[in-house]
């Protein structure tokens, strides 16, 4: 099940109520759970752990707010996480190339001398666009040599076959030597996902660039089977990251061996870092399950909006960002609708996410439950 279908189905069975409310009796410790031993994949140490995707902030006018974008990146770094930008529809589809390049530079500048890695999105509608992005990222990297920069990409929109995927990524490697996270799914192309054998083959051909996989293919059974195969291919495959917004992260880490997370949850970066630390130290203090439960509680805020792909990254989560001093507002760019389908409008459509006082009060109450795990 692809991530967006997963959320839709969860909502249909009452996900908004299943995860709602706070009935915690404190940070009660659980019994230690023996996790699967994670075989060393010889991954670049800067490429392990959570990679939350930054939400693109906007001014009241609808222009990109680069100052707040840099502030968000600093927040994520101070929380102890790596990060990704631009990725997800609100950053890929609704931004111009110039806006992406300006945002990348703002992030690279603020992360100089940081231990965190920024993986810049270089997904293209076609190979030519991808190459344009990679070349510009390399220019930024030369300017900000004290910033840890990696890449993340997915099959191009015009992909029709697995051979197209191979050609696309072999072209990417001609222009960079940076670790590149491969996202296995692109809903806009003809193939369902990238074959696991192809991911392994790419990693064999260029182990410096490839071998980092964001796995989000199909339903939970299919995805977990693919992930197990990828983990078993270590050290050819270096690291496999959970996806789907983190819904299966705990299971996939403890039972399969994923080594991080790519998720649209930047405003919870310190909670993600806390969970990752417990995954790494064998849950020494027995708080991992409780911390993860609190993360699921935060995911419930998604359903305060009308739905749609942007609500998982934005919507009420922007309010959380405001509460945490990251964002100035809840302004977003939106898609237009044509025959019930989302399309990119010729001019930006600007909206402000409205909330009732009751909704804000409920989020405030839930954030009190999360606060023991917040670092900042």
203 and 210 Cβ atoms separated by less than 8 Å: yes
Contact in structure between 53 and 87 (CB atoms under 8 Å): yes
Rounded to 5, what percent of the chain is helix, strand, coil? 45, 15, 40
Lookup: tokens for 318 = 């922007």
Alpha helices in 254-329 (DSSP H): 269-280, 288-299, 316-323
Contact 106, 118 (CB under 8 A): no
Give the pLDDT of the chain (376 residues) as one tens digit per residue: 444 443 344 333 333 333 333 333 344 555 567 789 888 999 999 999 999 999 999 999 999 999 999 999 999 999 999 999 999 878 889 999 999 999 999 999 999 999 999 999 999 999 999 999 999 999 999 999 999 999 999 999 999 999 999 999 999 999 999 999 999 999 999 999 999 999 999 999 999 999 999 999 999 999 999 999 999 999 999 999 999 889 999 999 999 999 999 999 999 999 999 999 999 999 999 999 999 999 999 998 988 877 555 677 899 999 999 999 999 999 999 999 888 888 999 999 999 999 999 999 999 999 999 999 999 8
pLDDT at position 224: 97
| Among candidate residues 311, 355, 303, the one with its CA nearest the CA of residue 332 | 311
Q: What are phi and psi of 345, to 5 degrees?
A: -75, 155
Give the integer Cα–Cα distance in Å for 298 and 199: 33
Q: Tell me, what's the pLDDT at 37?
A: 87
pLDDT at position 34: 77
- Which three-class secondary structure state does DSSP give residue 259? coil
State the maximum Cα–Cα separation within the chain, in Å, rounded to a whole number: 55
Do residues 131 and 122 lie in contact, with contact meaning Cβ atoms separated by under 8 Å?
Answer: no
Residues in the chain: 376
| For the chain, counts of helices (H) and of strands (E) | 14, 12
- The SS3 call for residue 30 is coil
Q: Please tell me the predicted confidence (pLDDT) of residue 30.
A: 54
Q: Regarding beta strands 349-352 and 83-85, do their DSSP bridges make them parallel or antiparallel, or are they unpaired? A: unpaired
Contact between 100 and 136 (Cβ < 8 Å): no
Classify residue 284 as left (phi > 0), alpha (psi -120 to 50) or beta: alpha
Give the single-character DSSP code of 252.
Answer: I
């Amino acid at each position: 099940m692809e991530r967006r279908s997963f959320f839709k189905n969860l909502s249909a069975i009452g996900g908004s109520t299943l995860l709602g409310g706070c009935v915690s009796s404190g940070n009660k410790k659980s019994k230690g759970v023996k996790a699967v031993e994670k075989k060393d994949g010889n991954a670049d140490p800067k490429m392990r752990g959570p990679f939350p995707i930054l939400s693109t902030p906007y001014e009241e006018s609808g222009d990109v707010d680069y100052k707040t974008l840099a502030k968000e990146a600093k927040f994520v770094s101070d929380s102890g996480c790596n990060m990704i930008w631009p990725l997800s529809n609100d950053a890929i589809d609704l931004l111009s190339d110039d806006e992406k390049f300006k945002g990348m530079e703002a992030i690279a500048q603020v992360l100089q001398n940081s231990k965190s890695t920024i993986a810049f999105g270089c997904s293209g509608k076609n190979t030519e666009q991808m190459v344009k992005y990679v070349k510009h990222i390399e220019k930024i990297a030369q300017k900000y040599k004290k910033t840890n920069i990696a890449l993340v990409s997915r099959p191009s929109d015009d992909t029709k076959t697995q051979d197209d995927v191979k050609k696309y990524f072999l072209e990417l490697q001609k222009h960079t030597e940076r670790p590149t996270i491969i996202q296995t799914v692109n809903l806009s192309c003809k193939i369902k996902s990238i074959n696991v054998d192809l991911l392994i083959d790419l990693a064999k051909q260029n182990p410096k660039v490839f071998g980092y996989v964001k796995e989000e293919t199909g339903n939970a059974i299919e995805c977990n089977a693919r992930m197990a195969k990828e983990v078993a291919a270590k050290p050819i495959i270096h690291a496999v990251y959970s996806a789907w917004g983190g819904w299966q992260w705990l299971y996939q880490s403890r039972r399969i061996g994923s080594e991080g997370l790519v998720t649209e949850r930047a405003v919870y970066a310190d909670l993600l870092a806390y969970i990752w630390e417990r995954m790494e130290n064998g849950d020494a203090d027995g708080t991992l399950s409780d911390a993860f439960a609190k993360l699921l509680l935060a995911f419930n805020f998604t359903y305060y909006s009308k739905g749609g792909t942007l609500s998982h990254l934005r919507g009420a989560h922007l309010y959380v960002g405001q509460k945490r001093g990251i964002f100035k507002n809840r302004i977003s760019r939106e898609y237009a609708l044509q025959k019930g389908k989302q399309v990119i409008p010729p001019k930006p459509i600007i909206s402000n996410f409205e909330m009732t006082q009751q909704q804000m009060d409920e989020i405030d109450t839930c954030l009190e439950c999360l606060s023991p795990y917040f670092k900042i």
